[in-house]
Amino acid sequence: MAPLRFRVVHGYRRAYRMAGSGPAILLIHGISDNSATWAPILPALSSRYTVIAPDLLGHGASDKPRADYAAAAYACGMRDLLTVLDVERVTVVGHSLGAGVAMQFAYQFPERCERLVLVGSGGVGRGVHPLLRAAAAPGSEFVLPMVTSLPVRGLVRAFLPLAQRVFDVGPDVDYVWDRYGTWHCGTAAPEPRSCAPCGRSSTPADRS
């Protein structure tokens, strides 16, 4: 599998794998995952294409700042990473949450998207857990910081096995809830600068 590489974009280190040559393919993983999820298909794809598989912010070896983790922000991050890698257009492949990011990327930056491939799309159809749907409801920005605070997380963690049976809470929901609490309880880095306007690139800086 291609080794991890690193670039600093807008002050945060982003990990990614890059291999092959030819037309570019951007592989965007799902929640609680990382670029290694694409390991089984990387060798075959890289024989014909330039394959770029990043670790999204908050995942894998990328930085985990207190940040905006909405699909639009992730799409901006993908645009910025491609810019510093000097890649103009890509076929975007997204899995789960990554599929939502891929759709947002295609919507925001159509001039940079050759094709769009969705695998188990997060947010499409009825397969999304009601708790995840509630996170996008009006007013959730005020409720979520309270329900994901350290005291509440500690209490619920003790009853998590029961909650998983009663409410069908899977590991994906548990991960989102735990990550959100970490980002909002002051244990992570400060808020990042806002996404660079379209067309502006960040200064690339390699870091080992």
pLDDT in tens, the chain (208 residues): 789 999 999 999 999 999 999 999 999 998 888 999 999 999 999 999 999 999 999 899 999 988 778 888 999 999 999 999 999 999 999 998 899 899 999 999 999 999 999 998 755 555 555 555 555 566 655 555 555 555 655 665 666 666 556 555 555 555 555 554 444 444 443 333 334 444 433 333 333 3
> Could you say which architecture CATH assigns to the domain 4-184?
3-Layer(aba) Sandwich (3.40)
Report pLDDT for 75.
94
Report pLDDT for 8.
95
Distances (CA, A) of 88 to 14, 104, 121, 142: 19, 17, 25, 38
Indicate the residue type of 58.
G
Strands 24-28 and 50-54: parallel
Report pLDDT for 108.
95
Q: Give the 3-state secondary structure of residue 57.
A: coil
Residue 30 CB neighbours (<10 A)? 22
Run of H or E residues at 73: helix 71-84
Report pLDDT for 190.
37
Report pLDDT for 201.
36
| Phi, psi of 89, deg, nearest 5 | -135, 145
Run of H or E residues at 157: helix 150-158
- CA 203 vs. chain centroid, Å, equals 21
